[in-house]
Structure 1
Amino acid sequence: MSAVDLERFVEDCVAANREGDPQAAVRAVLERAVHRPSDLRAALGDPTEAGLTALHRSQGLTILSATWTPQMNLVPHNHEVWALIGIYAGREDNIFWRRSERGISVRGAESLFEGDVSTLDVDAIHSVTNPLERYTAGIHIYGGDFFETPRSQWDPETREESPSDGNVIRGFFDRANERERRLRD
């Protein structure tokens, strides 16, 4: 088994982001990387806790290794930039939402398995679940600065909108790790 060269992967994504259709060009790079999930696991390691590890961060592009605890859920949220998700361990279930007079309403769903890549437009709203009893990991790529871009999240019960950003989302991962530690003890 050979590992993905992460430095080269990031360089290729940065170069692709300069193309005429950056999302499509970066998606092609991501598809090549997750084509053999075991190669990404060799480079990044098997997930052992939830987290967002920045592989690259700039004003125009953020590349994260995102890992999810077993059965972790993330509330409906948007990004306000285009996004790509490539899964290299486990599974990620997405519910897609649209704005409505009730706040948001469901418009579709998609399950991503190892080796799958999904494209999210700038106006996408989604919630995420790891339905498995083991960790899930993926490469998440954003057409902007994930941590500094103001955006929204919605309460999963009331569907009320509130402000969010990458640091608020990071808090969900921290709480999932704490929950997982309590379950193990």
Structure 2
Amino acid sequence: MSVLNIATPGTIAAAAPALRAQPGQQPSPVNGKNLWRLRSFITDFADLLSTAPVEETILYVGGDLLRQLVAHDDWLPDEFAQPDPQRYRQYLLHADSAQRFSIVSFVWGPGQRTPVHDHTVWGLIGMLRGAEHAQSYVLAGGALEQSGAPVLLKPGAVEAVSPNSAELHDVHQVSNAYDDRVSISIHVYGANIGAVRRSVYQPDGQRKLFISGYSNSTLPNIWDLSAEQQ
């Protein structure tokens, strides 16, 4: 089934088995957070890339895995959910050892937004907390034009981007839908996105290259299973 032919326009339909703890293990919260959800997501997503490396399948099945992850707002450690009053934050949660994919927590302060930008790789965006607006763009006659109406992402919703699909688009602008609260979305990209050379766009279509990097220097410790083995 094509990710472009889904039940709800702009969202990913159900396709993957439920995320769950490892057999025989009782999930234990770490500092009050159910980190096993993120651990299971990473394991399942890596398995997906190993068995079905076709982008269409990755977006469809991987999108449902992400939908299951963001359906629960009880796993993201607090240090990767902190806003900055000046600009949105991008916290790396995991990078695949072969750089096949990365997972990033985007934390939006009230009213914050990105510039219009591209990704150059496939991406999945799952809304965890709050809400955000996503506006797609296309280059027409050398100028930047909006493509369709903005999409409102609420908790549990998943969107996809891709440079290989005219329907999904790769150029967009994202903003916090709220002026009075923080919003958080979880992004999965088909590369180590913080090291990818990408572009921001001016209204006249001019590009400026950038490499985003990340807002953190340490990662969540999701692999300490000692409490679950006791």
TM-score range, shorter chain: 0.7 to 0.9
Query: Which structure 2 segments of 5+ residues have no match?
Result: 1-31, 165-169, 216-230
**Corresponding residue number in structure 1 for 2:93:** 55
The answer for the alignment partner of 2:5 in structure 1 is none
**What value does the CA root-mean-square deviation take over the aligned residues?**
2.2
Q: Name 1:183's counterpart in structure 2.
A: none
Aligned pairs, how many? 165
Residue 160 of structure 1, CA deviation: 2.3
Runs of 4+ in structure 1 displaced over 4 angstroms? none
Q: Secondary structure at the match of 1:166?
A: coil
Which residue in the other structure is 2:74 paired with? 39
Of 159, 167, 185 in structure 2, the residue corresponding to residue 118 of structure 1 is 159
Q: Distance in 2 between matches of 1:121 and 1:80?
A: 7
Counterpart Cα distance in 2 of 1:159 and 1:9 = 37
TM-score for both structures, normalised by structure 1: 0.79
Structure number with greater Rg is 2
- Picking from 182, 187, 192, the partner of 1:135 is 182
Is 1:100 equivalent to 2:135 in the alignment? no
Q: Which moved more, 1:58-67 or 1:134-143?
A: 58-67
List per-residue Cα deviations over 1:81-109 (Å, max 9, x = no partner).
00000011111101100112243110022
After superposition, the Cα gap between the structure-2 partners of 1:2 and 1:47, relative to the gap in structure 1 and judged at 3 Å, is closer
| CA drift at 1:147 | 1.6
Q: Which residue of 2 aligns with 1:28?
A: 64
Q: Please, what TM-score do these two structures have when normalized by structure 2?
A: 0.65
Determine whether 1:154 maps to 2:192. Answer: no
Q: Report SS of the residue matched to 1:3.
A: coil
Post-superposition shift, 1:57? 1.4
1-structure distance, mates of 2:161, 2:58: 13
Deviations along 1:13-56, whole A, 9 cap, x unmatched?
222222422222221210111123x334xx33383314211121
Give the distance between the partners of 1:29 and 1:54, measured in 2 at CA: 18
Match of 2:41 among 9, 13, 21: 9
CA contact (8 A) 1:61 1:142 kept: yes
Distance across 2 between alignment mates of 1:2 and 1:145: 25
The secondary structure found in structure 1 opposite 2:94 is strand
**What residue in structure 2 maps to residue 179 of structure 1?**
none
CA distance in 1, matches of 2:116, 2:134: 9
Please tell me whether the aligned partners of residues 81 and 107 of structure 2 are also in contact (alpha carbons under 8 angstroms). Answer: yes
> Between Structure 1 and Structure 2, which shows a larger proportion of helix residues?
1
Letter in 1 for 2:34: A
The offset of 1:138, in angstroms, is: 1.2
Correspondence for 1:87: 127
> C-alpha distance in 2, partners of 1:18/1:159?
37
Percent identity over paired residues: 22
* Offset, 1:110: 0.8
Greater share of strand? 1
